[in-house]
Amino acid sequence: MELALMRMISLGNETELERPSAEAVERFAATGLAGGVTDDATDRRRVRGRLPFDSWETRSVANTRDLPEGLVRRMCLTAKGVTLEVVAERLREGWDFVARVYRADKPVARFLLKVGAKRLLPQAGGFYHWTSKAAPKRLVLVSGQTDVEFNDVAW
């Protein structure tokens, strides 16, 4: 299981794989993905999500390069009883993101979050954290044999 976990987690510029902590292995096992994730569409059930709340709802989305540093965006994405809340802060060098998954208004840590090429497991408290030079256009929650997709998020 540890090898599967190491293969799935984006290690950025790390040159050597480190052995994951017992807590990381336990979180990974809780996702139900210990058997691995396949990108083969025939093996996975896909569910499309929607964006019922966006703090930028009244803001005209133009060029994200011209957004001021410190600007914050809050989004609530939902699909089939699952809610993904994302808070993004514009930094000088890119974006800083924090996200959390809820089911029935309770945080759940049973999903792997795919953001571009990154694959993230929930950290303490069920929070996902990542930084990026560009804002994501697609977020996918993966659990077992299901992908919950949030496509075409406009920035």
| Per-domain boundaries in the chain | 38-150
Cα(76)–Cα(55) distance, rounded to whole angstroms? 9
| pTM strictly above 0.75 | no
Over range 111-119, report the average pLDDT. 94
pLDDT digits (tens, 9 = 90+) for 46-76: 999 999 998 887 766 555 556 777 889 999 9
Over range 96-104, report the average pLDDT. 96
